[in-house]
Amino acid sequence: MRKSGQGRRSRVRDDSPLSAAELRTARPARDAVPHVVEAVRRRGRPRGESKALVTLRLDKDVVAALRAGGDGWQTRINELLRVAVGLRG
């Protein structure tokens, strides 16, 4: 026995090609949804050579405490080290 809606095709299709009229009125994403474009642009590794890739060993409880803060724990390590060596206060 089928559940309601299974096996039926939706009447609205998001994957259909754009019409000529839709293409004429289309705007670049940077104009239509600039906040989304900016959010995507900021993701990933920073540009330039301002960072050095290093390997170091830290106590497990220190890493666990930093990771418990959620995403951005490696950035927090960098900020803590900058304060510790007097580069930012």
pLDDT in tens, 39-85: 877 666 666 778 888 999 999 999 999 999 999 999 899 999 999 99
Joined tokens for residue 69: 């803060």
CA distance 70 to 72: 6
Is pLDDT larger for residue 45 or for residue 24? 24
Instruction: For helices 60-67 and 73-84, give the axis angle rounded to 10 degrees.
Output: 120
Kindly state the tokens that stand for 48. Answer: 């330039």
Q: Give the residue extent of every domain in the chain.
A: 20-44+52-84
Q: How far apart are CA 28 and CA 20, in angstroms?
A: 16
Query: Any idea of the CA torsion for 54, 58, 60, 63, to the nearest 10 degrees?
Result: -60
